[in-house]
C-alpha cells in the first residue's frame, strides 16, 4: 500500500537522518538505522537498495530545506546585502550552540567518502554547494559589479564552509561570527558607496570612501 509505504520510507529517512548526521555515515550501521526506525533491517532493504542509496537519500532531502533556510535568514535580516549575508552566519552561530549540531552534513559526508568521488552522495553534495553558490551569486549581481559577483559568492562560500569545519573542530561558535564579519567586509569592499554617509552603528563596521 502506497500510503503505509511512504510513511515507512519517511520513518527510515528520519532515523537515518538523525543517526547519519549525529554520528557520521560510517559510524552508523544499517541495523542501527532499522532499529531506530522501529523495523527490521530486511524491511529497510525492501525500501532502499543499499546503504549507499540510503546515504544519498539522506542528503537529497536536506538539500532544498537547507538552502531555503539560508534564503529565509537572508530575507528576514535588516540592512544592506552585506548585513543580510552576515545574518546568515549569525543564525548559524546560534544553531551551532545546540549540542546536536555537528557542522555541515554535506561536507562531513564528502570527507567520509573522500575516495569515492562518483558516489551519489558526493554528487548531491557538490550540487548542493553549487546551488548555494549560485544563489549567493545572483544576490550579489544586484549589489556589486556583476563581473565580481561569482568570485565574491565563492569567497563567502569558503568562509561558510571554513566556519563549519573550524567550529566543529574547536566547538566554538564564535568563529562563525568571525567568518560573518569577514564575509560582510568582503561584500562591502565591492559595494558602491551609499548616497548618504551613515554614522553606522556601534558595531565595528565603517563605510569606506573609495575616492580617497
Partner DNA sequence: TTGTGTATATTCACTGGTCAGTATACATAA
Partner DNA sequence: TTATGTATACTGACCAGTGAATATACACAA
Give the integer Cα–Cα distance in Å for 4 and 106.
29
Chosen residue from 22, 40, 76, 114 binding DNA by CB under 7 A: 40
Applying CB under 8 A, the span of 23-31, 43-51, 65-73, 90-98 interacting with its own copies comes to 23-31
Q: What is the largest CA-CA distance in the chain?
A: 71
Residue 154 lies near its own copies (rule: CB under 8 A): yes
47 makes contact, choosing from DNA, its own copies, none, with CB < 5 to 8 Å by partner type, with: DNA
- Whole-number Å distance between alpha carbons of 154 and 133: 6
The nearest distance, CB 24 to DNA, in angstroms, is 11
Q: Is 50 in the site for DNA (CB under 7 A)?
A: yes
Beta carbon nearer to its own copies, 39 or 190:
190
Instruction: State how far the Cα of 190 lies from the Cα of 117, in Å rounded to an integer.
Output: 35
In the shown chain, the binding pattern of residues 85 to 114 toward its own copies, with x for contact by CB under 8 A and - for none, equals -----------------xx--xxx-xxx-x
Answer for which of 10, 22, 23, 43 binds DNA (CB under 7 A) is 43
CA separation for the pair 34, 44 (Å, rounded): 6
Cα(59)–Cα(53) distance, rounded to whole angstroms? 10
Residue whose CB is less far from its own copies, 8 or 21? 21
Stretch that binds DNA, among 25-33, 141-149, 170-178, 200-208 (CB under 7 A): 25-33
Distance in angstroms (rounded) separating the CA atoms of residues 168 and 93: 11
Residues 161-200 that bind its own copies (CB under 8 A): 161-166, 168-171, 175, 178-179, 181-182, 185-186, 189, 197
Q: Which residues contact 74 (CB under 8 A, 6 or more apart)?
A: 84, 85, 87, 88, 139
61 near its own copies (CB under 8 A): no
Residue 36 binding its own copies, by CB under 8 A: no
Can you tell me the distance from the alpha carbon of 6 to that of 187, in angstroms, rounded to the nearest whole number? 44
Pull the grid cell for residue 184. 560582510
DSSP 195: S
Using CB under 7 A, which of the segments 31-39, 112-120, 137-145, 171-179 binds DNA? 31-39
Amino acid at each position: 500500500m502506497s500510503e503505509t509505504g511512504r510513511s515507512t520510507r519517511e520513518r527510515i529517512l528520519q532515523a537515518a537522518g538523525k543517526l547519519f548526521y549525529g554520528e557520521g555515515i560510517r559510524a552508523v550501521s544499517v541495523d542501527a538505522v532499522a532499529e531506530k526506525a522501529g523495523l527490521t533491517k530486511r524491511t529497510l532493504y525492501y525500501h532502499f537498495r543499499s546503504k549507499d542509496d540510503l546515504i544519498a537519500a539522506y542528503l537529497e532531502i536536506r538539500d532544498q530545506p537547507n538552502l531555503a533556510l539560508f534564503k529565509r535568514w537572508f530575507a528576514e535580516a535588516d540592512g544592506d546585502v552585506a548585513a543580510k549575508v552576515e545574518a546568515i552566519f549569525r543564525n548559524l552561530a546560534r544553531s551551532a550552540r545546540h549540542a546536536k549540531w555537528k557542522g555541515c552534513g554535506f561536507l562531513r559526508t564528502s570527507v567520509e567518502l573522500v575516495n569515492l568521488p562518483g558516489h551519489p552522495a558526493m554528487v548531491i553534495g557538490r550540487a548542493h554547494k553549487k546551488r548555494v553558490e549560485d544563489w549567493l551569486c545572483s544576490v550579489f549581481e544586484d549589489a556589486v559589479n556583476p563581473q565580481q559577483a561569482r568570485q565574491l559568492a565563492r569567497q563567502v562560500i569558503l568562509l561558510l564552509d571554513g566556519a563549519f569545519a573550524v567550529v566543529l573542530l574547536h566547538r566554538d561558535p564564535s568563529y562563525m561570527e568571525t567568518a560573518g564579519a569577514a564575509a560582510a567586509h568582503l561584500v562591502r569592499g565591492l559595494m558602491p558607496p551609499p548616497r548618504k554617509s551613515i554614522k553606522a552603528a556601534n558595531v565595528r563596521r565603517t563605510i569606506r570612501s573609495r575616492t580617497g
